[in-house]
Structure 1
Amino acid sequence: MAPSKKKHAKSQACVIPGGFTVLSLQFSSGSVARHSLYVKEHRVRAERSSRRPLDRTLFVLNVPPYCTEVALVHLFSQFGSVESVELRDHPGSFQESGPKLSRFFKPAEKQVDLCFGYVVFQNSSSIPAVKSHPHDVPLVVCTEQRPVKTGIQKWIQQYTDTFIQPDKLQEVVDSFMKDYDERKEEEAERQRKEAEQQQEDEDGWVKVTRGHKGAKARPHSEAANQRTLQKEMRKRKRKELMNFYTWQHRNTQKEHIAELRKKFEEDKQRIALLRAQRKFRPY
């Protein structure tokens, strides 16, 4: 019998509309059910965060609850060295506001069924490797080398993590207060230097020095804004005082004009009486 001329098709990556590549996920090697991850290269022009480089960040959709950040690091390490992994309950820009807080001071995260993830690789060549992974070759989450706890074991682990050791808590608090004191000292030193640079002389003049070529204009400091506000308040008070004295002067002028008019009417009556008596001699 002649061999069949039909060639077996080579397994290829599955790409769906929207540019997402479908990765098959399997909890363990003995599991029958499979889960689908949807990955895409993260390219958001409006985001300028250094935590998510546009050429090395992978956006992951449909992440199951048993897949933690550590598990994602192990899953995607086969495509290249992973720099960081971030899981969120909804996609959005990364916001860096204030000092980084320890897990002891963060509110409890709400449990979600499916979440989103951002995987940052060390090399940009890892992104095409992930997107070209065959769909029929699943990624195994739980192995003997990397076990993942689920069910009652996961709940016990979460309950155990809620207990805080006093020595660890004290260490975190001391580190936070040290950073806080350093930031306060830097802020006070900066305000002191700005106050010295913008200090007024006896006549109210501020010395302005010319910076180096190409230097940007220095924004107004808080101390300068306070001095400007105080000047405006003093100017407003002087204006109100001047208006008060002007009002007094205006009333005085009105009274003087009224007296002059009264005297003028009295003079007219006296002249008319003299004319009637023919005793008015103006010359």
Structure 2
Amino acid sequence: MAAPATKNASGACVIPGGFTVLSLKFHTNSSAQHQLCVKEHRVRAEKSEHRPTDRTLFILNVPPYCSQSILKDLFSQFGPVQTVELSEKPGAPEEKHPDLSPHFKPPNKQCFKVAYVVFKHPSGVAAAKAHPYDSPLVVSSREKPLHTGVRKWIHEYRRSFVKTETLQQAVDDFMSRFDKSKDEEAERQKKEAEQQQEDEDGWTKVTKGGKGAKSRPHSEAADQRTVQKEHKKKKRKELLNFYSWQHRNTQKEHIAELRRKFEEDKQRIALLRAQRKFRPY
């Protein structure tokens, strides 16, 4: 049986594991409440500059309708919030893909998540942990209403469209960066080709080529690796030749065995004929 929750002097509800339970309401007139479990984020194995141990609040049981902006508004009452991170499960920060366009994002999975709220000051974490359970946090208010139902679907549908001007600007920026990189690559290859040409004394300067180009090894380690590679290739060839010789030798022994049995059968037939016991028909 789990240990019961306790309340401290400030009225905060603390459960086993060091978590503080915060009550959450969708709006002020809601009779149902939701519970958030918060705790100071302290993980020794995880080293991240984005989650400082003294200013990060770890939150469990975040409902699907709570976005990053909503969490930032909710916890701003405890202190200035620097960043808010939502994740499907606790662990290291999810890797972002810079190659993906910000205008086409994959749909978010609708499920209960975990959150990491980073305050600008350590006092924000202490204030959130000391918040009384009897004072619930309100998600939707008159000043900042949260869309639900059909209004929410219409709002999300309208936000899914990308303006033509914004998309065209993103395409132009990408193409300009691509053309610039191609020009830089062509200039670099041109310089390398000029360096490979002979100078006035007839000497050829050999330099390291670009990506995919093969250059001659000039170090002792590189020469040693080349010799080892040739030695392995020679041993592999000898091994293949040995297997070929072994296969031929096995075939010769098999043929010799068949010939020996054939001679024994001939002698047996001749002995039966001599004894007049051989009747082939």
Evaluate the alpha carbon distance shift between residue 238 and residue 158 of structure 1 in structure 2; reply closer, same or farther with a 3 A threshold: closer
Aligned to 1:12: 11
Aligned to 1:235: 230
Evaluate the alpha carbon distance shift between residue 43 and residue 206 of structure 1 in structure 2; reply closer, same or farther with a 3 A threshold: same
- Contiguous gaps of at least 5 residues in structure 1: 1-8, 208-223, 248-283
- Contiguous gaps of at least 5 residues in structure 2: 1-7, 193-206, 243-281
**Superposition pairs for residues 214-225 of structure 1, below 5 Å?**
none
**Superposition pairs for residues 3-82 of structure 1, below 5 Å?**
11-82=10-81
Q: Is the 8 A contact 1:20 1:40 kept in 2?
A: yes
In structure 1, the residue corresponding to 2:103 is in which secondary structure?
helix
**Superposition pairs for residues 1-283 of structure 1, below 5 Å?**
11-96=10-95, 98-99=97-98, 101-112=100-111, 114-176=112-174, 195=208, 205-206=218-219, 231=226, 235-236=230-231, 239=234
Q: Measure how far apart 1:131 and its partner are.
A: 0.4
What's the RMSD between the two structures over aligned residues? 4.0
Give aligned pairs, total. 212
Question: For residues 163 and 172 of structure 1, what CA distance do their matches in structure 2 show?
Answer: 15
Identity of aligned pairs, percent? 48
Question: For residues 49 and 177 of structure 1, what CA distance do their matches in structure 2 show?
Answer: 34
Q: Measure how far apart 1:111 and its partner are.
A: 1.7
Question: For residues 139 and 236 of structure 1, what CA distance do their matches in structure 2 show?
Answer: 74
Q: Measure how far apart 1:33 and its partner are.
A: 1.6
In structure 1, the residue corresponding to 2:134 is in which secondary structure?
coil
Q: Measure how far apart 1:145 and its partner are.
A: 1.6
Evaluate the alpha carbon distance shift between residue 183 and residue 29 of structure 1 in structure 2; reply closer, same or farther with a 3 A threshold: farther
Relative to the length of structure 1, the TM-score reads 0.61
Evaluate the alpha carbon distance shift between residue 206 and residue 56 of structure 1 in structure 2; reply closer, same or farther with a 3 A threshold: same
Question: For residues 117 and 174 of structure 2, what CA distance do their matches in structure 1 show?
Answer: 28
Question: For residues 233 and 177 of structure 1, what CA distance do their matches in structure 2 show?
Answer: 46
Question: Residues 77-104 of structure 1: CA distance to partner in whole angstroms, max 9, x if unpaired?
Answer: 0111111111122222114355263443
Question: For residues 227 and 63 of structure 2, what CA distance do their matches in structure 1 show?
Answer: 60
Q: Measure how far apart 1:179 and its partner are.
A: 6.2
Question: For residues 181 and 141 of structure 1, what CA distance do their matches in structure 2 show?
Answer: 47
Q: Is the 8 A contact 2:10 2:131 kept in 1?
A: no
